[in-house]
Amino acid sequence: MRNLLFLLAVLAGGGAAAQTSPPALMPLADVKPGMTGAGRTVFAGGQVEEFQAEILGILENVGPKQSIILARLSGGPLEKTGVLQGMSGSPVYIDGKLIGAVALSFAFSKEPIAGIRPIAEMIDAASGTSLAPPPAATGAALPQRAEFQAGSAKLVEIATPFWMAGFSRSTLDHFGPVLRNAGLEPVQGASGGGQPTPNTANRRPQPGEMISVQLMTGDLSVGADGTVTHVDGDRIWAFGHRFLAGGETAMPFARAEVMTLLASQNLSFKISTPREWMGAIRQDRSAAIAGRIGEKVEMIPLRLTLRRETGGAPRDYRMQMVRDRLFTPLLLQMALFSAVDATERTAGAGAVTVHARAAVAEGPPLTWSNTFSAELGAPQLMAALAAAPVSTMVQSGFASLEIRALDFDIEVADRTRALALDNAWTSRKEARPGDTVTIHTQWAGESGQLVTHSANYTIPTGMVAGPLFFTVTDAPSSNIVEFRQFLSAPPRSAEQMREFLSGLRVPNRGYVRVWRQQPSLMVAGETLPAIPPSAALTLARTSSQLGASKIAEIPLPQGNSVYSGSKTVQVEVKE
């Protein structure tokens, strides 16, 4: 009888716009060891199939207000495959009532024993805030994959298949450790490669069906797969665990079909491909992801153009990627790295120059340029640092800086372009207000190359007597000073953030920083040198104190090499 009811439910769900009443929910307190139930998932194509679940017990309070139902699964291919990656979210029912979703498993287990996330925890986690479009938020590093101690073994979240199509193998190897640590299993191939189609038949996702969260589409594509747990009206819950626990988000999802299963002792997963667009994931919480059926998501257009220093036809990549405080910077890094790796060598000496442009919601586009040169790993360095301004924007929380489009022009050279600071000196050791001091710099490159640059600084009228310092430095060192101040006093407005981003120093020139050894204050993101004692006392409670006072910064002429090194020289100011 139960199988007949299940078959009728599946057939009803296959209609174009069919909707069924959501099943009753079974409280965790009613779930007892020895009970048997049925789960739903897809093993082949788009057909939802049934598997069996025998309740072994309840692991109570394994986390803050979290409990896990332990169950032994059977049926279908599970005896051979064990718990599959891609099964996350598969609903389990007892007497027709939904108890939760398959969400965790034991690594290297000989039996398909799973941890089931109680459905009440899934719904509560995703209903803490509204399912309205998300505001920008301050970001953080990728969270670690959750795990719970169960005796001497560890119960871990089932890894989410993270399909990457069009990416080079080195990209998977380079970013794999970061992704796996976050519970995402990078796989090169099919799922991300398919392009979802419009939902012209007005299909609705059903519990047990596969979905693919589409993070990037186009010439490079990324998708993450799981299973639908519960549908109530136009609301949907899936996975049974977090994606990245990013909170409110905006990620489109599509229905997916299973092409085949790959079974192994260490890693068994579903190989799937996306089909029709279905809606948008709006919540990414610790116990579930949740969203709305039929809702559309605005993606960020991304264009990469790759050129060689020696000439030849450029190579273009065009994609759309999600606007998410955690995923956007990561996806951009992977795309930049892969674009260079797929057509250029990533080992050995080399240099990469990047010109970037970001269209934002309000105001003119933000632009930045950078050159990266290294004996080994220039593309890796480029991918991380070229994406840093984008990470700052998506995590800033300022609506006017919401990214609307990104364009990167990349030039690759097979030789290093590096100049190291060899010497720095001043034209005079003593000076008075009104005098001009010339700072001379000498930079050394390969094969005995020497490059000299000079900068002039006029001592301001009224400057008090004492030592005046000139630090000749490179862009990273100068940015570290500015970035340290940025951390202690984050920008309070979009205008300050825009000034900070546009003021980032570029590595293909040196800088002369003029400063004195006297305290200054950082107030609302602005440096205030030489504060009178009375004003300093008033501002002390709302400011950060800095040990040195920056007076000026003079950029040296720009070139096509990466400048490195730092040296400080001193001039004594006389009355």
pLDDT digits (tens, 9 = 90+) for 259-304: 887 776 666 778 888 889 999 999 999 899 999 999 999 999 999 9
* 8 Å CB contact between 48 and 10: yes
Q: Alpha-carbon distance 377 to 374, whole Å?
A: 6
> What's residue 450's pLDDT?
94
Q: Tell me the C-alpha distance between 456 and 334, whole Å.
A: 42
Please give the distance of CA 249 from its chain centroid, rounded to a whole number: 12
Closest C-alpha to 201, from 275, 103, 259, 273: 275
Most distant pair of Cα atoms in the chain: their distance: 100
The two structure tokens encoding residue 360 = 């934002």
Cα–Cα distance for residue pair 285/247, rounded to 1 Å: 6
Closest CA to 215 of 281, 133, 139: 281
Return the structure tokens found at 122. Answer: 């899934």
> Which structure tokens are listed for 548?
């040195």
**Short-list 340, 255, 249, CA closest to 299:** 249
For the chain, helix, strand, coil in percent to 5 are 20, 45, 35
Residues 472 and 569: beta-carbon distance below 8 Å: yes
Q: Where are the beta strands (DSSP E) in 144-268?
A: 147-150, 153-157, 160-165, 184-188, 210-218, 221-232, 235-238, 247-262
Handedness of CA 486, 491, 495, 498 (dihedral sign): positive
Query: Quick check: 472 and 511 in contact, CB under 8 A?
Result: yes
pLDDT digits (tens, 9 = 90+) for 102-160: 999 987 777 899 999 999 999 998 775 434 334 333 334 677 887 777 667 788 999 99
- β-strands 91-94, 66-74: how paired? unpaired
Question: Do 395 and 137 contact (CB within 8 A), yes or no?
Answer: yes
H or E, element range at 380: helix 378-386
User: Mind listing the pLDDT tens digit for each residue in 1-58?
Assistant: 444 333 333 333 344 444 567 889 999 999 999 999 999 999 999 999 999 999 999 9
In contact, 229 and 126? CB cutoff 8 Å: no
Q: What is the CA radius of gyration of the chain?
A: 29
Please write the tens of the pLDDT for every residue from 367-407: 988 888 776 667 788 888 888 889 888 888 899 999 999 99
**557 vs 485 pLDDT, higher one:** 557
Tell how strand 47-63 and strand 66-74 pair up: antiparallel
Fold designation for 309-413: Dna Ligase; domain 1 (3.30.1490)
Residues 517-553: tens digit of each pLDDT: 876 555 544 555 555 555 555 545 444 555 578 899 9
What region, left, alpha or beta, does residue 119 occupy, with left being phi > 0 and alpha being psi -120 to 50 degrees? alpha
Tokens at residue 328, please? 């956007």
- Residue by residue, DSSP assigns 256-291 as EEEEEEE--SS--EEEEEEEEEEEEEEEE-SS-EEE
CB-based contact 336:330 (threshold 8 Å): no
Domain boundaries, the chain: 2-293, 309-413, 418-573
- Other beta carbons within 10 Å of 564: 18
CA 212 to chain CA mean position, Å: 18
What percent of the chain has pLDDT above 90? 53
Contact 352, 340 (CB under 8 A): yes
Q: Specify the pairing of strand 567-573 against strand 430-431.
A: parallel
pLDDT of residue 567: 96
At 183-230, the pLDDT tens digits run 999 988 754 446 788 887 888 999 999 999 999 999 999 999 999 999
Q: Kindly state the tokens that stand for 46.
A: 């788009």
Contact 206, 237 (CB under 8 A): no
Q: Are 499 and 534 in contact (CB under 8 A)?
A: no
Count of other CB atoms within 10 angstroms of residue 368:
18
